[in-house]
Structure 1
């Protein structure tokens, strides 16, 4: 019997045994990623770090996160056309580990190279490991599918919860670079676990769905080499002419983060090989994509805007005991772990009664809640503007509201992507889903580069209003979107 099919003897919380392998792999990868990410904005502004301005730190953070998710698209392409999902994830783990080791070197000159390696490895891993979760279930109508992705999402958040407590504490209190080294160790553990447990994965996770022909390989390598040479020559000219600044790198990357998602969706939507049902599904998917982009634009500022605010303007104490700023990044994952099983149970219970909210309604609710979280952010901002330190519980409350919104939108978005993906774009569609994060974070990056202070009440109120209006719009047009989705719910 094929591993991972519903009839397999061994199960993991009632799901195929292969889910445990992917759960643990993602847990350790997220431990390394979120530990490094919790340190990143603080290291960028710290006198003992790179000592950059808050605006530049936010721009770098946003561009980095945007790049991670932007590279999920070519990562999905590698899984579909070159190595297959399983081999791509193994290679990705090694690249991520190398990136964290590079960050651990006590040299600012290697810092951006390390960020680049982590971004490349994360891009290769993200789309393919989510695709392999989908491979564990037979057909798009398997009732356990949404629950499986929610359990998988718990693995993400278990690693994300532990990371700031371990890596953040060591990084802030002992050595920034030792913290980055711990992130490398986490990825090494994840890679070893994946290689040992891969026998439990579905057989098709090793298959290359649409391998490149010899002619396509030659053409792809030639184009990649040409673009690499163009970039090298361009930046060499800028550098040797004495005009290079960090914005020469940040601005092109942020623009790509906005432009590429639009181009990719347009290309897939216009593909004449898609049948009428697939075309209709893609039209509906665009609604989900735009909603998710707005959501992530606000949500991901929890690691940059909110973190920098906490560092400078919050009273980071509990009952008189001061804790590291990076610990705020553990609030969201611990709430996810507490609430995700509840959400999974509620969806199954409502589904049995025929009363489960549609994907459209879940998305609309998630958008309204993330907007509400930034309306809540106005309170600690006002306190800080009055010359006082804001209480830590204000930030905890913001993360709580965002977490509920995330559970309504993110795992459901992963699931609906696998259900609505045209067969031709299996792994690549997971990359498309992550491009929504790219678009949202790239927008934040562009605002920061333009000099917009994201910790000002007017800007925060504007972003909050945008999210709520977008959520209401999605809800108002829910029947039209359901019609476009066809049989998918």
Structure 2
């Protein structure tokens, strides 16, 4: 998820366990925090570095070493890949809770991610897409568990160091996100695509080595399987998983050997899955008779929040696809005499986040009684993200006829998007934990991540439907108008939503 996806509220369930040995400290914190900080920093380095190259590699002509996809197809592949990363956080949490425990799960995840990046470095189409599957699966396993392990370092929930620990951890996320496009993006774009992907693999390898070496400093609770799967149930899960995997393998083998296979056979099923699954989850929760009337009302209010967040991520996550391609094809690679590759634009968001997050934290505290409500902040986030695509529409118009526009257009777009993100993302995480029914308290964060999945799948759907119009003025105008309309709707419905949310504001 975006770089603001971790806040002190995230590990609310992490409470018990032993912290690292007394005397072994990292800026006054348990030494295990250094291990998790560096692991996450290198994982984000690999993740965002590869992402800075992915869409560009997909749409670059074969004669220049790329895949040669049309922009609509390349952007849709990118959107679906990103959607699957967040979809797989649900089974990632389940694996830790029922099979391996967080510590072992994160170790396996790091290895899977590393292998995935090195598969991308092999100049073969088949291994490339297998590598994307590995990275998505590993990222889902890691993302669901590593922040919880930070919480395990502080068994006392009242420990004043907890918020500080997550702030330090958050810095690691943004440092990795900031430096990745500068290093991996430059190597991939200016030297060799596959060498750039290999560099991402090396970054994950460094993170994995640090994690394995520093494993002893982690909390004992991180080894615990909180709800072990009985042997009979485990065998049943393996049989069902094996059956569906075999069925999918047979189906795609038939499609492949009949010569019918195209990338659409992957894009469309995963897009539908990413849209249908959240609906099924909400239907199941709303039909659950174990929830009392107050919890049901709060879940009705949360559906508004979920849909609004999905529309936000629909636009926001295109920073690495349509906006990235615009940077490469239609934006000058020089500013005030300084030359740089287009992938460097991907470093703007983490840079803005590190600069503006403390300002927003101070602002909300300073406003106190005048602090906007949750839904007002959501409305501002949607309006902001919609306006960013309005700016993109004007930038695309300025680039008509093959003109390359000033980098200040994209610098402004990413600034507006970052401000919008700071209005919506941290607030969404916090309200998710507060609205969660007791029965689903540990699952609600995974459901929040599904908003990213749904948003990315909507983007993939739009990209496939619009085809050659993807990345044009109309494309940006339609989505920008959708977000602005949603922001206005949320603002005028905020009173109704507040009533559904009850005592959560």
TM-score, normalised to structure 1's length?
A: 0.90
What is the CA–CA distance in structure 1 between the aligned matches of 2:496 and 2:338, rounded to whole Å?
Answer: 53
Q: Which residue of 2 aligns with 1:256?
A: 273
User: Does the CA-based 8 Å contact 1:22-1:129 persist in structure 2?
Assistant: yes
Q: CA deviation at 1:58?
A: 0.8
Separation of aligned partners in 2, 1:154 and 1:277: 37
Structure 1 stretch displaced more, 141-150 or 187-196: 141-150
Cross-structure match for 2:471: 455
State whether residues 367 and 467 of structure 1, in contact with CA within 8 Å, keep that contact through their aligned partners in structure 2: yes
Q: Which of 105, 127, 131 is 1:110 aligned to?
A: 127
1:338 to 340, 346, 355: 355
Change (3 A) 1:430 1:485: same
Kept in 1, the 8 Å contact 2:87–2:453? The answer is yes
- Shift of the 16–358 alpha-carbon distance from structure 1 to 2, 3 Å rule, reads farther
1:218 maps to 235
* DSSP-derived class of the 2:399 partner: helix
Q: Secondary structure of the equivalent of 1:82?
A: helix
Task: Extract unaligned runs of 5+ from structure 1.
Answer: none
Deviation at 1:41, TM superposition (A): 1.1
Give 1:73 deviation, angstroms: 1.5
Distance 1:404 1:334, change over 3 A: same
The equivalent of 2:250 in structure 1 is 233
- Is residue 18–residue 152 contact of structure 2 (8 Å, CA) maintained in 1? no
Distance in 1 between residues matched to 2:19 and 2:379, nearest whole Å: 33
Report the Cα offset of residue 385 of structure 1: 1.7
Q: Distance in 2 between matches of 1:144 and 1:299?
A: 32
Which position in structure 1 is the counterpart of 2:12? none
Which stretch of the first structure deviates more once superposed, 147-156 or 225-234? 147-156
Secondary structure at the aligned position of 1:391 is classed as coil
Residue 118 of structure 2 aligns with which residue? 101
- 8 Å contact kept, 2:86–2:450: yes
Q: Is 1:376 the equivalent of 2:391?
A: yes
Q: In structure 2, do the counterparts of structure 1 residues 96 and 455 end up closer, same or farther at CA, with 3 Å as the change threshold?
A: same
Rounded to whole Å, the distance in 2 between the matches of 1:86 and 1:34 is 23
Query: For residues 488 and 111 of structure 1, what CA distance do their matches in structure 2 show?
Result: 46
Report the Cα distance in structure 2 between the residues aligned to 1:330 and 1:240, rounded to whole angstroms.
42
Q: Does structure 2 retain, via aligned residues, the 8 Å contact 1:80–1:427?
A: no
Q: 1:23 aligns with which of 17, 37, 52?
A: 37
Paired with 2:259 and 2:52, the residues of 1 have a C-alpha distance of 33
Residues 1:444 and 2:459 aligned together: yes
1:89-123, CA deviations, whole angstroms, 9 ceiling, x for partnerless residues?
22111110111111112323311011110010011
1:148-174 per-residue CA deviation (whole Å, 9 max, x = no partner) reads 656544332211110000001111111
Whether 1:407 aligns to 2:422 is: yes
Post-superposition offset of 1:230: 1.1
Residues 364 and 474 in structure 1, CA contact (< 8 A), matched pair in contact too:
yes
Preserved contact between residue 286 and residue 296 of structure 2 (Cα < 8 Å)? yes
Query: Equivalents in 2 of 1:287, 1:72: separation in Å?
Result: 22
| TM-superposed deviation, 1:15 | 7.7
- Note if contact 1:3-1:18 (Cα within 8 Å) is conserved in structure 2: no
Q: Gaps (5+ residues) in structure 2? A: 1-15
Range with bigger deviation, 25-34 or 186-195: 186-195
Native 8 Å contact 1:77 1:428 kept in 2: no
2:482 is aligned with 1:466:
yes
- Write out aligned runs for 1:174-213 (5 A): 174-198=191-215, 203-213=220-230
**1:143 and 1:285, CA in 2 relative to 1: closer, same or farther beyond 3 A?**
farther
Q: Which of 303, 327, 335 in structure 2 is aligned with 1:318?
A: 335
Other-structure match for 1:327? 344
1:377-392 aligned at under 5 Å gives the runs 377-392=392-407
Conserved 8 A contact 1:101-1:184: yes
What is the CA–CA distance in structure 1 between the aligned matches of 2:502 and 2:154, rounded to whole Å?
21
Equivalent-residue separation in structure 2 for 1:203 and 1:420 (angstroms): 30
Q: Which residue of 1 aligns with 2:4?
A: none
Match of 2:377 in 1: 362
Secondary structure of the equivalent of 2:40?
helix
CA RMSD of aligned residues (A): 2.9
Selected match of 1:162 from 169, 179, 196 = 179
Aligned residues: 485
- Over 3 Å counting, the alpha-carbon distance change for 1:328 and 1:456 in structure 2 is same
Separation (CA, whole Å) in 2 of partners of 1:150 and 1:468: 31
Quick one: distance in 2 between partners of 1:445 and 1:312?
A: 21
Deviations 1:216-257 (A, max 9, x none): 212211111111111111111112222111111111111111
Moved more, 461-470 or 406-415: 406-415
Tell me the residue number matched to 1:32.
46
1:19-62 per-position Cα deviation (integer Å, ceiling 9, x unaligned): 55443322211100000010111111222121222122111111
Bigger shift: 181-190 or 419-428? 419-428
Does 281-290 or 238-247 show the bigger shift? 281-290
